[in-house]
Amino acid sequence: MAKMFKNIIAPVQVWLLSQGKCVGCSQPLEKGAKLARQDGTQKITCKCKRVYILDKGGKYRRAGINEA
């Protein structure tokens, strides 16, 4: 089951991310724990433990498995 959905990004998740919100719990990522990374981006860890990257353009994306 999980594999089936792995490569599908639901439109609602894209929308939440575009609003700077966690796709899991809808909390603003502004409130997450921030950690500056060497490449100038920021790693954001949400309260629900999902991990995001804030890129230099100010856009959020889910962190890859090697970035978490």
Residues contributing to the site for Zn ion (CB under 5 A): 22, 24-25, 46, 48, 50
Q: Which is nearer to Zn ion, 17 or 50 (CB)?
A: 50
Q: How far is the CB of 34 from Zn ion (least distance, A)?
A: 14
Identity at 18, one-letter amino acid code: S
CA distances from 32 to 3, 5, 36, 54 (A): 28, 26, 13, 11
Q: Which is nearer to Zn ion, 39 or 46 (CB)?
A: 46
Q: How far is the CB of 32 from Zn ion (least distance, A)?
A: 7
Per-position DSSP letters for 44-55, written without gaps between them: EE-TTS-EEEE-
